[in-house]
Structure 1
């Protein structure tokens, strides 16, 4: 199930990294400005991920129980909820751009760049949330290939449009960071159209019968039971990122730029983990619905072992190609190059543990224990991650902050493993007593 999804995520992440490279060619200030937007844009993406998790968990369980008509009702109502939330977020985002980013620590010289980027980005909120919800429903039904292919197509569109819109081509004027945002918006539109053009979506996942309000409320309650804690859990990550970005801003524009590039590299390094986090919930939900508890245990802990080995390989590759990465993003800035080098040597070392943390949260959501997943996220980010990173920054500056992230992931990984083992044992015992 993971391989088809991975192809789409690889494409999107790589073009996201290429996007950062193109923006870096505009200068350190534009790159730092776009880095400040990460916590806000990721908050909206996190909301879409949370809605997707709730939809996937509900749909997967219903499919395991063979309640096919109810699947259509739940997915359709989830799509309506996505549209409503998107419109509200677009309006709220538009009116709060300048004051919000000043609050996050952006200096006045960066605000115009940020405004140019976000004024376009917010227009695509609907095309961020809606296709992710529908893709989650498709994956829950076992169809991971087609969503992956559509993601690849949208990623290719983004990669082609980036240099054209950022730097200009022929009659198309250079638009700078506005062009980067517009390329992303068009790619999301392609993703949305691609998902809704699928026959499987229109025939198997959508209901065109006008529902009673009571049915809609039941759907939103069922999805919200999983989605709301998942959304809050997901949003905790960009909130913590905003706190760290504010700390990093105290070290200068070069520090913010290196943190932004490093975060993009971190995302690319976690591609397989992100793909697995999308396929573990339907795998767990369907097997739970069918009573295959041993298969759930084997799949979950097998994925943990794989992630540790894989991320160790990724860390080695990043160190092997360190010089090439530095030349790509920081050839004109010695300070940026030094900071990025420290990032590559430290943060990726803890990504294996971070992968287990991510998959543990996905597993708890699939087990219909969303509050446990929320508690784990809060514990990781605000008891371990942010405080230890702040301590590291106080003791050793920006480099200490990077190593603090590694220590926090190691500590939280142990807690996540113990929690998953406890709940899987409880499920198995409950089944044995039936």
Structure 2
């Protein structure tokens, strides 16, 4: 038993040190792929949950589906803020401290990220669980009741969601991508098994309806969060959140917030662009909306790829900048960005050339297929630049420079808002002009970030510039 314990203690820091050395000195593309693969798998698992919940709730009827649909934008905002915002920022600051060889500081930053996540979750509980909010968003009658029940449970347990995503970010910052991915995949598997039992009831368990779906999300996230916390806090781990005492330091919290606050703004801008585009498409009628809804689902495949590789980019860029290796950090950035551009671009090109392959997988209605194909023929060709922009956002997060990513996202929003308004008024009853505007907004976002990244000097410390 003593020998096994000694071996475990020796292997844990050795494995973390080996990963760090690969990030600092290993071949760029193989190392990036090794780190990104579990990330991509974990994020695809999250995508499965979104589709599964839609199926389960849909069996409860139209009011349940409508109620959850009203809550979904805020639920997705919480997911993006906790995983990409604070979680991604935790990855960046922990990786930079680890790259500098300061494991004690990495542990302190991990602890502060965890505390900030709990504070942010409390804000979501106070604001997003209120029925007044969903009434203001248009929910009425039974749909409002369903929205209130779902939101009350989901945001009442927001701390579980924030904690698991922040801890996954800490794990990525230390190069433990497998642990982060395993936590997300385990959460998904548990949810797939538990949610139907809570929604429809099983044996002595009464059916909870939409509240059951939310309760499953919270419960499974909490279990994974506790397991991940125990793993990260084990003796010999590189950044132990619970190994630094309970003291809070203003400087450590400020360092995280310098990245986390602008990182949290980015999904608001991105979701705003999507919401505006959806609203404009709705003005062209139900057929256009149905086709657009199916066609735009392709982005559910693109986003996990970009986010998965992007998470590895954040860790590798931050680790190398922490070790004063700015040139290598730039090389890693362009390697990862090119990889995401190639993969998402290839998927988009196939969709643009053969759009019915995608549309036929979801509907047999020829008119809906044609409406969605119109969108994919125009927008699919620039999906590579959408992926490029996402990848460069994560690299910029690792570099601590987020001004240009926010500028690029804001530019996308402005183009969709102004260009979409013109398109709906000048293009008659056909949405092709609007789709062109959407495509141009993605192209602008990707190119803006590419030019800004090329011209930026990463040899000086970044402070969210």
Scaled to the shorter chain, the TM-score interval is 0.7 to 0.9
Whether 1:12 and 2:46 are equivalent positions in the alignment is: yes
| Equivalent-residue separation in structure 2 for 1:225 and 1:375 (angstroms) | 16
The 3-state SS of whatever aligns with 2:249 is helix
Tell me, yes or no, if the aligned pair for 2:198 and 2:213 is still in contact at 8 Å. Answer: yes
Q: Does 1:62 align with 2:97?
A: yes
What are the residue-to-residue correspondences of 1:86-101 with 2, within 5 Å? 86-95=121-130, 97-98=131-132, 100-101=133-134
Q: Give 1:275 shift.
A: 0.4
Q: Distance in 1 between matches of 2:62 and 2:296?
A: 16
Partner residue of 1:40?
74
Residues 345 and 387 in structure 2, CA contact (< 8 A), matched pair in contact too: no
Residue in 2 that maps onto 1:141: 174
2:14 corresponds in structure 1 to none
The Cα shift of 1:147 comes to 1.0
| C-alpha distance 392-282 of structure 1, shift in aligned 2 (>3 A) | same
Deviation at 1:27, TM superposition (A): 5.3
Give how far 1:172 is off: 4.7
Out of 405, 409, 423, the residue aligned to residue 442 of structure 2 is 409
Is 1:177 the equivalent of 2:210?
yes
Equivalents in 2 of 1:41, 1:19: separation in Å? 12
For residues 417 and 120 of structure 2, what CA distance do their matches in structure 1 show?
29
Partner Cα separation in structure 1 for residue 146 and residue 430 of structure 2: 27
Tell me which residue corresponds to 2:9. none
Q: Name which of 63, 74, 78 aligns with 2:113.
A: 78
- The offset of 1:90, in angstroms, is 0.2
Q: Which stretch of structure 1 is more off in the superposition, 295-304 or 240-249?
A: 240-249
CA pair 129-401 structure 1, distance change in 2 beyond 3 A? farther
Q: CA RMSD in A?
A: 3.3
Alpha-carbon spacing, 1:378–1:227, altered in 2? closer, same or farther (3 Å)? same
Deviation at 1:283, TM superposition (A): 0.7
Q: More relative contact order in 1 or in 2 (CA 8 Å, sep 6+)? A: 1
SS in structure 2 at match of 1:326:
coil
Q: CA deviation at 1:111?
A: 2.7
Contact preservation (8 Å) 1:23, 1:31 = yes
Q: Give 2:404's match in structure 1, choosing from 372, 387, 399.
A: 372
Give per-residue Cα distances to partners, 1:58-94, cap 9 Å, x unaligned: 1111111111111111211221121122122202222
Q: Look at both structures and tell me which one has the larger radius of gyration over its CA atoms.
A: 2
Does 2:226 match 1:193? yes
**Kindly tell me: are residues 33 and 262 of structure 1, through their superposed partners in 2, closer, same or farther at Cα, counting changes over 3 Å?**
farther
Moved more, 249-258 or 232-241: 249-258
Q: Secondary structure at the match of 2:362?
A: helix
Answering whether residue 260 of structure 2 is matched by residue 220 of structure 1, we say: no
**Match for residue 236 of structure 1?**
269
Correspondence list, 1:162-311, <5 A = 162-169=195-202, 172=205, 174-199=207-232, 203=237, 204-210=239-245, 212=247, 216-244=249-277, 247=280, 265-311=298-344
> Structure 1 pair 340/127, CA: closer, same or farther in 2 (3 Å)?
farther
Q: What are the Cα deviations for residues 4-61 of structure 1, in whole angstroms up to 9, with x where unaligned?
A: 1112112221232232334445556644543333321222223212112222221111
Q: CA deviation at 1:151?
A: 0.9
Compared CA separation, residues 33 and 390, structure 1 to 2 (3 A): farther
- Distance in 1 between residues matched to 2:81 and 2:416, nearest whole Å: 21
SS of alignment partner, residue 324 of structure 2: coil
Say whether the 8 Å CA contact 2:416–2:441 is kept in structure 1: yes
Within a 5 Å distance, the mapping from 1:320-339 to structure 2 comes to: 321-327=357-363
| CA pair 205-400 structure 1, distance change in 2 beyond 3 A | farther
In structure 1, the partner of 2:17 is none
How many Å apart are 1:220 and its aligned residue? 0.8
What is the deviation of 1:281? 1.1
- Residues in 2 aligned to 1:117 and 1:80: alpha-carbon distance in whole angstroms: 26
Normalised by the size of structure 2, how large is the TM-score? 0.78
| TM-score, structure 1 normalization | 0.83
> Unmatched 5+ residue regions in structure 2?
1-34
2:419 corresponds to? 388
| Alpha carbons 1:32, 1:260 under 8 Å: kept | no
Classify 1:11/1:405 alpha carbon distance in 2 versus 1 (closer, same or farther; 3 Å): same
SS class of match (1:197):
helix
Contiguous gaps of at least 5 residues in structure 1: none
Cα–Cα, structure 1 residues 322 and 234, in superposed 2: closer, same or farther, change >3 Å?
closer
Structure 2 residue 352 is the aligned partner of structure 1 residue 352 = no
Residues 376, 344 of structure 1: alpha-carbon distance in 2 compared, 3 angstrom cutoff: closer
Q: In structure 2, how many angstroms separate the alpha carbons of the residues matched to 1:74 and 1:143?
A: 16
> C-alpha deviations, 1:330-364, integer Å up to 9, x for none?
x7x88877765655555544332111111122222
Tell me, in whole angstroms, the C-alpha distance in 1 between the residues paired with 2:154 and 2:408.
31
What is the rounded CA distance, in whole Å, between the counterparts of 1:354 and 1:224 in structure 2?
Answer: 26
